[in-house]
Amino acid sequence: MGKLSVNLCGIDLDNPVIPASGTFGFGYEFAQYYDINVLGTFSFKGTTLEPRFGNPTPRIAECKAGLINAVGLQNPGIDKVISEELPKLKKVFNKPVMANVGGFSVSDYVTVCKKLDAEEQVGWLEVNISCPNVHAGGVNFGSDPKGAYEVISAVKKEVSKPVIAKLTPNVTDIASIAKACEDAGADGVSLINTLLGMRINLRNRKPVIANTMGGYSGPALFPVAVRMVYQVAKAVNIPVIGLGGIETAEDVLEMMMAGATAVEVGSANLVDPYACKNIIENLPKAMEKYGIENLKDIIGGVK
């Protein structure tokens, strides 16, 4: 059987498959379906400084090849995540977990990351710089290199664990954003987050989503994600996590050939709770089909 293990920012993973933040809760919800320790790791629900109820409903709109969501970072806040969610997780998951962090100011990010950095269960800090900067008119931190650099450099000064910058695809040049994160000290980058999308109800002529627009995810994004991962992997010398529309073991191989060290699976978890488990189980067969003995050998291996 082929070797599935990879190393992500100095931490070994049994395989490169990681459920994406916002699609896997805090892990224990999925542990009722299968042993989640089969995963490489997972990125838990985006956590902010204060509790957030999220955006008004409806928050989700189905599309032909994916879905649009505007959940709005609903979460109980960092203190309850540490006091309530992580102890529940520890009972069902014995590997380092990836902590996804959201913020609306640089100080938000720093405070939350410092608290999570002190938690033994946390292996990586995935800093979602797709959040709006309330001090800059709501523009996303990750929309320009300067904003991305500011957040990542501030966090890196205060933490010891690997920092992974999660990038938005809603930019002209994603490679320049990734390079700014690398220059700021990021240990890795993950991409892509959702594209901005919208649906309209033909009967009432109003947006389907109460928030008007939301994040579009699903299999339709896969070619865009592969392209952006390829571009970023060529531009930086730090590990890249590829995500966006991954549904199969073959998708994992393609994303890794584009330059990803590991992958995150998002919307597929919402369709089938066993999605990641099935992908992992199918990886050896896919590797054999394409003559791959060791997954590490195909990272960035597109000719």
Active-site option among 9, 63, 113, 131: 131
State how far the Cα of 289 lies from the Cα of 298, in Å rounded to an integer: 14
Sequence-ordered list of residues with C-beta below 8 angstroms from that of 35, at least 6 positions apart, any chain: none
In which element (H, E) is residue 6 found? Answer: strand 6-8
The per-residue DSSP string of 195-261 comes to: EEE--EETTTTEESSTTS-EEEESGGGHHHHHHHHHHHHHH-SS-EEEESS--SHHHHHHHHHHT-S
State how far the Cα of 50 lies from the Cα of 147, in Å rounded to an integer: 22
> Is residue 9 flagged as an active site residue?
no
Give the helix, strand, coil percentages of the chain, each rounded to 5: 35, 20, 45
Of the CA atoms within 13 Å of residue 219, those in its CB half-sphere come to 11
Catalytically annotated residues: 131
